Amino acid sequence: MTTKTLSKTKDERAHSQSLTDSRLRQNLARERKRYVEEKLLATISKHPDGMTLAEAAGSLGTVPVALAWATRSLLKRGKIRKKEMLYFPASAK
């Protein structure tokens, strides 16, 4: 093998490792999102009279902005509903 061939092989291995690392990060991000959505849904479900996002965030030990994407996802999927500033479990009417 020539040095050029060895170098290419190293480059290919580095690229392969980079793809593996990227996929791992993506999988971990998806798992974290699922986990946050589950925790947020469980928290809101304990409050059939509704709660603000700030209250939910405080209960989960985070800030409201950290739950914004999870809230939108749960609303879009019909798992929770919103009226004015309060969030309710979808089953609560």
Q: How far apart (Å, rounded) are the C-alpha atoms in residues 76 and 28?
A: 22
Phi, psi of 88 (to 5 degrees): -130, 155
Residue 73: count of CB within 10 angstroms of its CB? 17
State the pLDDT at residue 4.
Answer: 55
DSSP state of 51: B
Rounded to 5°, angle at Cα 65 from 61 and 71: 90
Domain region containing 47: 3-89
Q: Structurally, how many domains does the chain consist of?
A: 1
| Exposure of 13 in the CB half-sphere (CA atoms within 13 A) | 6
What is the CATH number for 21? 1.10.10.10
Beta strands in 1-93 (DSSP E): 80-83, 86-89
Show pLDDT as tens, one digit a residue, over the chain (93 residues): 555 555 567 677 776 667 677 888 888 888 989 999 999 999 999 999 999 999 999 999 999 999 999 999 999 999 999 999 999 999 866
